[in-house]
Amino acid sequence: MRKKFWRQRPLLTLSQIVILLAIIFALFVALDLNRRARAGQLVGVGEEALQREVMMETTRQVELQATLDYVQSDDYVAAYARDEGGQLLPGEVRVVPLPIESASEPSASPVITPDPAFNARSWQAWWQLLTDAPQPAQQ
């Protein structure tokens, strides 16, 4: 008796393997293009904020330069000597305003209203909570 060897059919044919490889390659290409597109979108995201920050710092630099120019001027030195240093030019007279002191009136103390719970009895509080009726006449 002869044994017959049946050839098993392969799981995938050559054309199916080629198509599967092409699909996998296309998937990798699409994912890479998507990644590159997102990276390209993120390039300009912080540009506006950075431009605003540069403009603010440029304005601040101009302000600081103007302050530096003023501080180095003779006008600033004269104003500082007059205001902070107490120095006067010949012929100037210092005028110092004095505050007017008025007789201070004592402030009225607030009227303290008595707390009704302070003089209440415990049964009155329970009566109010349980019945919501007027309290009976006290004896």
Residue type, 115: D
Query: How far apart, in whole angstroms, are the C-alpha atoms of residue 67 and residue 134?
Result: 76
Alpha-carbon span 136 to 139, nearest angstrom: 9
pLDDT at 6: 66
Specify the pLDDT at position 5.
63
The pLDDT value given to residue 138: 61
| Per-residue model confidence (pLDDT) at position 32 | 96
pLDDT of the residue at 2: 58
pTM of the model: 0.37
Could you list the pLDDT tens digit for every one of the 139 residues in the chain?
556 666 777 788 889 999 999 999 999 999 999 999 888 887 777 888 889 999 999 999 999 999 999 999 998 988 888 888 878 888 888 877 888 877 667 677 777 877 766 677 777 777 777 787 777 666 5
Structure tokens at 2: 């002869």
Instruction: Give me Rg for the CA atoms of the chain.
Output: 47
Identify the helix (H) or strand (E) that includes residue 28. Answer: helix 14-43
Rounded Cα distance between 119 and 95, Å, is 63
What is the C-alpha separation between 128 and 56, in angstroms, rounded?
66
